[in-house]
């Protein structure tokens, strides 16, 4: 599973209890569910380019 990072400060994101957004642990920026979907697709694309996987 990809670790999602904040668009603003590159801090780690933590899902909110409601499951509708994630909040940056560093700067407090909220990321919508739609933005998280885009970030996951981007992360999947990046990981598929890497042929050496530890799993």
Give residue-wise pLDDT tens across range 15-47.
999 889 999 999 999 999 999 999 989 888 865
H/E element, 24: strand 21-24
pLDDT at 6 over 90: yes
What is the phi-psi region of residue 15: left when phi exceeds 0, alpha when psi lies from -120 to 50, beta otherwise?
Answer: beta
pTM above 0.85, yes or no: no
- Calculate the CA dihedral of residues 26, 28, 34, 40 and round it to 10 degrees: 10
């Amino acid at each position: 599973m990809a670790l999602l990072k904040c668009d603003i400060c590159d801090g780690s994101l933590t899902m909110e209890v409601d499951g509708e957004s994630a909040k940056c642990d560093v700067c407090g920026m909220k990321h919508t569910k739609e933005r998280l979907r885009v970030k996951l697709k981007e992360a999947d694309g990046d990981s598929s380019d890497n042929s050496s996987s530890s799993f």
